[in-house]
Amino acid sequence: MSQNKATTLTTRSKVNVNTLRKMKQAGEKIAMLTAYDASFARILDAQGVDIILIGDSLGMVIQGHATTIPVTMDETIYHTKAVARATEYSLVLADLPFMSYTSPEMALRNCARLMQEGMAHMVKLEGGAPQVETVRQLAHHGVPVCAHLGLQPQSVHKLGGYRVQGRDQAVADQMRSDAQALQKAGADMLLLECVPAALAADITKEVDVPVIGIGAGSDCDGQVLVLHDMLGVSVKAPRFSRDFMQDTGTIQKAVRAYVDAVKTGGFPAAEHCFV
């Protein structure tokens, strides 16, 4: 087991779903960050980020909205194209926007656009059991899928705010069974947002596919942060994030410090986790 290894940029090859599975099996942590344009994507790619997410967080950090909800398919495709053009090694993962996957047919149509026009390698959607059939259809048609569980920001108005999910036993049990069902349906990766560290650790052990955490403790197979949060640019970064610019001084060094901290287990620390 090559646990807690830092990246070796000289031996890099293009990251794909098999690479990610092998990294999980080998205990090598996966470093993921968001980006929305070619300039930042080029830096992330060069500094060893395994996955670049064109998150619908673009609605907040790029467009200045209060939530991710206003983001459209056309906007996501525009930003995904820009990222994909500048990416040599990282896997390009694009978010399906709010209400763009309310049926398997609609999800198939929009994933075709994200992959054909945007050149995404994988798509991410929010939801557990209600999305199982959609994930099955996408997998059946050759679309790699990451399913986002825990805090689902597209449901913020339904949830009544951005809150930790899974402290309640019933919600935790549902999340564990959703993770199993999504894996069985063909999901290639799971993402857990704002989940107690112990629950995220259990889910990570219970599934074969890689699990990426954000505010979900240090035992996930990998970590993701919103780029603007970890560069100290956001007006108010969440408590589970860390400002990597503070001790580094350049964007390149900050990104590299993040990658190394994820790979060596230095991030997240206890203060970034929830119980």
Active-site residue numbers?
A: 193
- Number of helices followed by number of strands (H, E) in the chain: 11, 8
Nearer to ligand KIV, 26 or 251 (CB): 251
120 sits near ligand KIV (criterion: CB under 6 A) = no
Please pick, from the candidates 114, 226, 261, 273, the single residue that binds ligand KIV as defined by CB under 6 A.
226
The minimum distance between CB 1 and ligand KIV, in angstroms, equals 27
75 sits near ligand KIV (criterion: CB under 6 A) = no
What CA dihedral angle connects 261, 265, 271 and 275, to 10 degrees?
140
210 sits near ligand KIV (criterion: CB under 6 A) = no
* Residues with Cβ within 8 Å of residue 57, at least 6 apart in sequence: 34, 68, 153, 226
Please pick, from the candidates 214, 231, 255, 262, the single residue that binds ligand KIV as defined by CB under 6 A.
214
178 sits near ligand KIV (criterion: CB under 6 A) = no
DSSP assignment string, 138-192: HHHTT--EEEEEES-GGGHHHHTSS-----SHHHHHHHHHHHHHHHHHT-SEEEE
Please pick, from the candidates 7, 34, 47, 134, the single residue that binds ligand KIV as defined by CB under 6 A.
34
| Residues of the shown chain interacting with ligand KIV in the complex, contacts defined by CB under 6 A | 34, 53, 55-57, 68, 95, 191, 193, 214, 224, 226
